[in-house]
């Protein structure tokens, strides 16, 4: 029986989440089990924290200054390699695959082996998604240095959406310029949507190819996706993750001219730019200085999704509900009303019973239903929970898992990993 380790690496703008999996068995009878996960928050904003989880064991420690993602990676690697309760991971050589979440994959549809060629392409895409791709690129370099024997794989958040029709992907702009510069809708959160669609199909006991859902990934970055017969046909994020729904510090959809009225320096370089990473003042405003942070002063949505919150918070909550229900209606029509389920996921979608209640009540005209008691207990139950009362048109809460989705292809379908062409 063969066994080896897969490390999933998910770089956020100020955090690093990693999970170590053990893959065992032969073709046709393989099993993937989670050994441990390690997460570092507050990178470059001391004190940083390390949260380590192995089964029911949980430990949080303060790390002081962790300057960048590379330094954070040294800490998590050390945490795994020195944990005597997971002897399978005692040496660096024990880790076979490192799977990197890359938000912007440009035209890449499938996961790709990271070669010199793919690395260069991903690095170039940092211009389109500077706030996301740059930390992923720095972690690929860290892996090459720290784990020279490992097979590095890039798993793209945009890949799942390649099935969107051309009229959805295309913006109404000069197509010569659009093609030259790659200016189109890509869509993101695809690893999450891939996981959710498979889990929902399993739960409904239907083939994935016959499962159609409206999925909501509501985290600090939020989006919605229309999934027809297992494939994305539209999603709310676009060229970059800023469009669609508002988020913790992102505007979501606005009139594109707004930014030129907001500042006369829209195209000037933001002071947070570095030698290798150019961020404009406009990008900084739209991505970092807006959303819940700008409206309420907090990015903690549990404080906003509170029926007794102050008016500023209520306004933010109402904006979110308004935009979400607008997309649910839009996608219900695009799916010709042939929908198996409305699915709530992401930190907010999984934890806020109140947001699920208000959204579901507003879309009840489409036939979606809510069972108050099941909804209030959904987070305790976990995994996937039917929070509606209809067997035909379901309302579901589904805990998403981007990390296992990254390990999934390496474990079960390594033949699907592209070689960079």
Ligand X SMILES: CC(=O)OP(=O)(O)O
Binding-site residues for substrate, in ranges, read 101
Asked if 130 touches ligand X (CB under 6 A), the answer is no
- Draw the binding track, 171-210, toward ligand ADP (x: CB under 6 A; -: no contact): ----------------------------------------
Q: Which residues are annotated as a binding site for Mg(2+)?
A: 10, 402
- Binding region: 10, 17, 101, 217-221, 402
Residues contacting 360, CB < 8 A, separation 6+: 342, 368, 369, 370, 375, 387, 388, 395
Q: List the one residue from 9, 11, 12, 408 that touches ligand X (CB under 6 A).
A: 12
Size of the site for ligand X (CB under 6 A): 9
Interface residue with ligand ADP among 130, 159, 190, 219 (CB under 6 A) is 219
Q: Which does 192 bind (CB under 5 to 8 A by kind): ligand ADP, Mg ion, ligand X, none?
A: none
Site for ligand X in 135-194 (CB under 6 A): 157, 188-189
Contact call for residues 229 and 211 (beta carbons, < 8 A)? yes
CB of 219 to ligand ADP, least distance (A): 3
Query: 241 touches which of ligand X, ligand ADP, Mg ion, none (CB within 5 to 8 A by kind)?
Result: ligand X
Residue 388's CB is within 10 A of a number of other CB atoms, namely 22
Termini Cα distance of the chain: 33
Degrees, nearest 5: CA angle 61-48-103: 115
In this chain, which of 102, 103, 134, 378 binds ligand X, going by CB under 6 A? 103
Within 8 A by CB and 6+ apart from 232, the residues are 160, 161, 163, 164, 187, 190, 193, 225, 226
The CB-of-353 to ligand ADP minimum distance in angstroms stands at: 8
Question: 242-261 mask for ligand ADP (x: CB under 6 A)?
Answer: ------x-------------
Residue 351 binds what, of ligand ADP, ligand X, Mg ion, none (CB under 5 to 8 Å, by partner type)?
ligand ADP
Q: Does 219 bind ligand X (CB under 6 A)?
A: yes
Taking a C-beta distance cutoff of 8 angstroms, is the pair 130, 277 a contact? Answer: yes
Residue in 5, 4, 137 with CA at minimum distance from that of residue 77: 5
SS3 337: coil
CB-based contact 102:123 (threshold 8 Å): no
What residues are paired with 280 via a beta bridge? 269
* Residue owning tokens 């703008």: 13
String of DSSP letters for 152-166: EEEEESSGGGGGS-H
Cβ 141 to ligand X shortest distance, Å: 21
| Alpha helix segments (H runs only) across 311-421 | 311-334, 346-351, 353-362, 372-381, 402-412
Please indicate whether residue 340 is annotated as part of the active site: no
Label the pairing between strands 95-102 and 151-156. Answer: parallel
Q: Nearest distance from residue 285's CB to ligand X, in Å?
A: 17
- Estimate to the nearest angstrom the gap between the alpha carbon of 354 and the chain centroid: 22
Kindly tell me which residue out of 214, 215, 239, 305 binds ligand ADP, with binding defined by CB under 6 A: 305
Stretch that binds Mg ion, among 33-41, 138-146, 215-223, 226-234 (CB under 5 A): 215-223
Provide the b/e sequence for 195-207 (b: ≥16 CB within 10 Å): bbbebbbebbeee
291 near ligand X, rule: CB under 6 A: no
Q: Let me know: does 74 contact 50? Beta carbons within 8 Å.
A: no
182 binds, among ligand X, Mg ion, ligand ADP, none (CB under 5 to 8 A by kind): none
With residues binned 3-state (H G I as helix, E B as strand, rest as coil), the percentages for the chain, rounded to 5, are 40, 25, 35
The phi, psi pair for 325, rounded to 5°, reads -65, -30
| Backbone phi and psi for residue 206, each to the nearest 5 degrees, phi listed first | -125, 155
Residue ranges for the known binding site for ATP are 17, 217-221
Among ligand X, Mg ion, ligand ADP, none, what binds residue 211 when CB lies within 5 to 8 Å by partner kind?
none
CB closer to ligand ADP, 89 vs 342: 342
Which of 3, 175, 302, 389 contacts ligand ADP by CB under 6 A?
302
386 makes contact with ligand X (CB under 6 A): no
Among the listed ranges 201-209, 257-265, 271-279, 345-353, the one in contact with ligand ADP (CB under 6 A) is 345-353
Q: Which among 111, 157, 401, 403 is annotated as catalytic?
A: 157
Q: If you search the block for the tokens 């990934």, which residue do you land on?
A: 217
User: According to the binding rule CB under 6 A, does residue 350 interact with ligand X?
Assistant: no
Using CB under 5 A as the binding rule, whether residue 219 contacts Mg ion is answered as yes
Under rule CB under 6 A, residue 220 binds ligand ADP: yes
188 binds, among ligand X, ligand ADP, Mg ion, none (CB under 5 to 8 A by kind): ligand X
Binding site for ligand X (CB under 6 A): 12, 103, 157, 188-189, 219-221, 241
Binding site for Mg ion (CB under 5 A): 219
Q: Mind telling me the catalytic residues?
A: 157
């Amino acid at each position: 029986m063969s066994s080896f380790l897969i490390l999933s690496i998910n770089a956020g703008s100020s955090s690093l989440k990693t999970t170590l999996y053990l893959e065992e068995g032969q073709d046709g009878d393989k099993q993937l089990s989670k050994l441990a996960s390690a997460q570092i928050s507050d990178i470059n904003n001391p004190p940083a924290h390390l949260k380590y989880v192995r089964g029911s064991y949980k430990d949080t420690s303060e790390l002081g200054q962790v300057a960048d993602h590379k330094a954070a990676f040294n800490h998590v690697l050390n945490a795994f390699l020195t944990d005597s309760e997971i002897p399978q991971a005692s040496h660096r050589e024990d880790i076979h695959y490192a799977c990197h979440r890359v938000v912007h994959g440009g035209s890449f549809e499938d996961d790709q082996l990271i070669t010199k060629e793919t690395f260069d392409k991903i690095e170039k895409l940092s211009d389109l998604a500077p706030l996301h791709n740059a930390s992923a690129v720095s972690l690929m370099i860290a892996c090459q240095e720290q784990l020279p024997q490992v097979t590095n794989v890039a798993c793209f958040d945009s890949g799942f959406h390649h099935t969107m029709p051309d009229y959805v992907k295309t913006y109404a702009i000069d197509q010569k310029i659009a093609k030259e510069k790659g200016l189109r809708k890509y869509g993101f959160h695809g690893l999450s949507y891939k996981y959710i669609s498979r889990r929902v199909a399993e739960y409904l006991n239907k083939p994935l190819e016959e499962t159609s859902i409206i999925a909501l990934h509501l985290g600090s970055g939020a989006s919605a996706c229309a999934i027809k017969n297992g494939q994305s046909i539209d999603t709310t994020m676009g060229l970059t993750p800023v469009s669609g729904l508002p988020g913790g510090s992102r505007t979501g959809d606005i009139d594109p001219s707004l930014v030129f009225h907001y500042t006369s320096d829209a195209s000037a370089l933001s002071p947070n730019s570095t030698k290798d990473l150019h961020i404009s003042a406009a990008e900084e405003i739209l991505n970092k200085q807006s959303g819940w942070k700008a409206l309420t002063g907090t990015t903690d949505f549990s404080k906003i999704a509170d029926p007794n919150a102050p008016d500023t918070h209520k306004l933010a909550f109402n904006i979110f509900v308004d935009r979400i229900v607008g997309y649910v209606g839009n996608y219900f029509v695009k799916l010709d009303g042939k929908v198996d389920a409305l699915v709530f996921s992401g930190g907010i979608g999984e934890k806020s019973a109140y947001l699920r209640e208000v959204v579901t009540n507003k879309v009840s005209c489409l036939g979606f239903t809510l069972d108050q008691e099941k909804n209030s207990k959904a987070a305790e139950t976990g995994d996937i929970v039917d929070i509606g009362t209809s067997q035909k048109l379901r309302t579901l809460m589904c805990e998403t898992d981007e990390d296992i989705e990254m390990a999934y292809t390496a474990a079960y379908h390594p033949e699907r990993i592209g070689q960079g062409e």
